[in-house]
Structure 1
């Protein structure tokens, strides 16, 4: 995928559509899926463009990091579903590779997404060796609400009005997406914007 192809192949809703095909994917699995799509579309693969597209989707809440408690996989228990937290298989005393941790983050469809499938995406389940997976929406929604609150506090602390506008929109998205109340977060954002 080239940088010019990134918006059409890896638009945030297309990314969400790819993740939705599987229930959840790690960043590494999603990157591989996007590389496979680019190959099928006879486009050059640009790993930096793929990583940037995923970062944007996560920042805009189209994709959200999913906690291990929200993940399930056919034939696995919740304790064995989550990838190890370090590159060394979970040995917390050894130094972990930060890039390995980043690639192991599980991503699920977030509240700001309208999942759509890019061309040839229907072939991905046959290409990727990924077991049947699902996401506990209640556990995911609680984690997303916590993240939204932390992001709002950070944006208020940095007086980042553009980020606050994005987060205000997400407070409405999350309420339509899950049975949660983001009113307190929205009120805090509005109060900051009005001051």
Structure 2
């Protein structure tokens, strides 16, 4: 995906999410629209969607289960849409003007339970590894193998069984 969203864009998305602990996809799109307005550029909704999709696929942003979320004075994300939190493959950076977003957007104070989030990420990693093995998707397996190292550094979870299975499959195909 040479002409797709860059790693810098992925990390900028994570930086915006990190400002709030978690955001729904709609809230993240709104934040990015505000940044575009501040910099007097046009909003490309398709580009925003592609960047968010890539960030989720690469574990820079991860879907957060309702059990991992807390928020003051608003309905939970599960009642509206999936929440996104900063994932293990992110190196959050703030795009220009992002520090003003908490003053611009009406988003209450939020927190993420890292233990519940890391359990959900490990479960997703297992499911995606099984699917990639079943599909014979070597490219995805290599990405997931890299993600196992990120997850291990990010949270106190045991990813070794998943990584061992992924690497065995990759080595078998090589």
TM-score bin (small chain): over 0.9
| Dislocated runs of 4+, deviation >3 Å | 4-8
Q: Which residue of 2 aligns with 1:161?
A: 138
Report whether the alignment pairs 1:33 with 2:49. no
Q: Which has the higher helix share?
A: 2
CA shift, 1:113, in A, is 0.3
Report whether the alignment pairs 1:46 with 2:44. yes
Structure 2 unaligned segments of length 5 or more: list them: none
User: Hey, what's the Cα distance between the residues in 2 that align with 1:121 and 1:82?
Assistant: 22
Aligned-pair Cα RMSD in Å: 1.8
Match of 2:13 among 12, 15, 21: 15
Report whether the alignment pairs 1:186 with 2:173. no
Q: Which residue of 1 aligns with 2:76?
A: 81
CA shift, 1:193, in A, is 0.8
How many residue pairs were aligned?
170
Structure 1 unaligned segments of length 5 or more: list them: 86-103
User: Hey, what's the Cα distance between the residues in 1 that align with 2:108 and 2:150?
Assistant: 29
Deviations 1:32-54 (A, max 9, x none): 00111111111111101000000
TM-score normalised according to structure 2 size:
0.93
Deviations 1:60-115 (A, max 9, x none): 00000000000001246xxx423426xxxxxxxxxxxxxxxxxx210000000000
Q: For 1:39-118, what aligned pairs fall within 5 Å after superposition?
A: 39-75=37-73, 80-84=75-79, 104-118=81-95
TM-score normalised according to structure 1 size:
0.83
